[in-house]
Amino acid sequence: MGLFIIAFTAFAIGIVLILLLKNVSPPPPQEQIHFDNPDDKPLYLLDREAFKEKCLEFLGKFNLEYKHSVWANNQELEVDMLDETPVVGGKYLALCIFDPPHQQVDLFKVKGFIESIKGEGAARGIVITTGYFTNDAQKAPDEDPIELVNVVSFLSYLKKFDIY
């Protein structure tokens, strides 16, 4: 009799635990970029000054007037821009991250930039990287005025704008 009580209790606890689990699927894998030959990799993915020029050219396609930029460190270029469009315009900030550690930009970096956008009173911000964003970082800008552009999206935009 005791064996049946233990088995039934274990079964009931198992059912309760299953019902308490969240029904979420894992995030879809990020699209990766691969070059068959290392020489096929564009210069702006290898050289930080070329990356800076390509980022500024890319941002110019959105009718953003370049004000100034500064390298915060060897990997991060902070760009200040202005959109003079009435009503929707204003100050825009960009963070261009060249060769991030482990090719990943994490949630901490994205949240820090969101705070910078708010602190500077900017209308919007954009993070461009030669790497990828972690899953947590991708979820961060849900309600914040920020766009995340990883290397795959960046190359796609450059081809679309005919500035590849």
- β-pairing, 76-83 with 104-105? unpaired
Sheet holding 146-149, edge to edge: 65-71, 76-83, 90-97, 124-129, 146-149
Domains located in the chain, CATH noted: 46-160 (3.40.1350.10)
In sequence order, what are the beta bridge partners of 147?
Answer: 126
pTM (2 d.p.):
0.79
Please write the tens of the pLDDT for every residue from 93-102: 999 999 999 9
List, in order, residues 6 or more apart from 63 with CB less than 8 Å away: 83, 85
Beta-strand pair 90-97/124-129: parallel
Q: Which residues of 56-92 are buried (b: 16+ CB within 10 A; e: fewer)?
A: bebbeeeebeeeebeeeeebbbbbbbebeeeeeeebb
Per-residue CA distances from 28 to 6, 25, 71, 138, 140 (Å): 40, 9, 33, 11, 16
pLDDT digits (tens, 9 = 90+) for 119-138: 999 989 999 999 999 988 98
Query: For each of the chain's 164 residues, which pLDDT tens digit applies?
Result: 777 788 888 888 888 777 777 665 555 566 788 778 878 889 999 999 999 999 999 999 988 889 999 999 999 999 999 988 777 778 999 999 999 999 999 999 999 999 999 999 998 999 999 999 998 898 887 778 899 999 999 999 999 999 88
Q: How far is CA 14 from CA 1, 4, 7, 8, 22, in A?
A: 20, 15, 10, 10, 15
Can you tell me the distance from the alpha carbon of 59 to that of 108, in angstroms, rounded to the nearest whole number?
24
